[in-house]
Amino acid sequence: MKKIQISPSILSADFSQLGNEIKRLEEGGADMIHVDVMDGHFVPNLTIGPPIIKALKKNCSIQFDVHLMISPVEKYIKAFADAGSDIITIHPEATDNLKRAVGTIKSLGKKAGVSLNPKTHISALKDVINDIDLILIMSVNPGFAGQSFMGEVLPKVTELRKIINDKKLKIDIEIDGGINFETAPLAVKAGANILVSGTTIFSGSLKDNIQKLRNCA
Ligand code: DX5
Ligand code: ZN
């Protein structure tokens, strides 16, 4: 089993202190920083874009795990790559040509992820499974922090872990939405190896919560 990695979502951070919040996450043992990018169109919420990512990245060395909830996504992949994203994750519904969009991410020297909404079937990955580095399983409908974990996505995680093992692929399975000390162990048992968490990590001591999340899984 792979080492469990923690990717705190800055969606629950104090936006007036973002630089410091990332420093605190880095010092608290985060493996990477999850950045939720929303366009008010693909999802109903609106967050941050490349200039802020660029400014934040300049002051830290931790990897940025950038979750793009924007469409059409192709138009902005280069801007997010240039801003300093290390992993760029996109949704199949946000592009006309998923394979080409994944190819663009890879050609810019970044890790490519594809995210599956709770209702999106694994078959959406069929053309790109050999090209991607990460699969992000949404365990809530994307758009907002603080939603409840949807346990019905767990069989999808189990099935994907089996496909990845059988094909001997090097793909991380990340899970995002409603991850807390009760749901993290379920996600890891199903086969996830990267846990995204906003609400849980930002409730109290970041360091304690990161450690607790890693250990409970
Ligand atoms: C939802 C985002 C998540 C979410 C995580 O659209 O992709 O990253 O904000 O937040 P919690 O941990 O609060 O569910
Ligand atoms: Zn996310």
pLDDT of residue 103: 98
- Antiparallel, parallel or unpaired: β 172-176 and 194-197: parallel
pLDDT of residue 111: 99
Give residue ranges with CB within 6 A of ligand 1: 9, 11-12, 34, 36, 67, 140, 142-143, 145-147, 176-179, 196-200
pLDDT in tens, 17-57: 999 999 999 999 999 999 999 999 999 999 999 999 999 99
pLDDT in tens, 110-134: 999 999 999 999 999 999 999 999 9
Q: Catalytic: which of 36, 39, 133, 172?
A: 36
Q: How confident is the model at residue 217 (pLDDT cuts 50, 70, 90)?
A: confident
Distances in Å between the Cα of 167 and the Cα atoms of 56, 76, 79, 122, 202 are: 37, 32, 33, 15, 37
pLDDT of residue 1: 60
Query: Model's pTM, two decimal places?
Result: 0.98
Q: Which ligand is in closest contact with the Cα of 141?
A: 1
pLDDT in tens, 155-199: 999 999 999 999 999 999 999 999 999 999 999 999 999 999 999
Q: Beginning with the edge strand found earlier in the chain, give each strand of the sheet holding 32-38 in spatial order.
A: 5-8, 194-197, 172-176, 134-138, 111-116, 87-90, 63-69, 32-38
Is 90 exceeded by the pLDDT of residue 10? yes
pLDDT of residue 216: 92
pLDDT of residue 2: 73
Q: How confident is the model at residue 86 (pLDDT cuts 50, 70, 90)?
A: very high
The average confidence (pLDDT) of the chain is: 97
Q: Which ligand is in closest contact with the Cα of 65?
A: 2
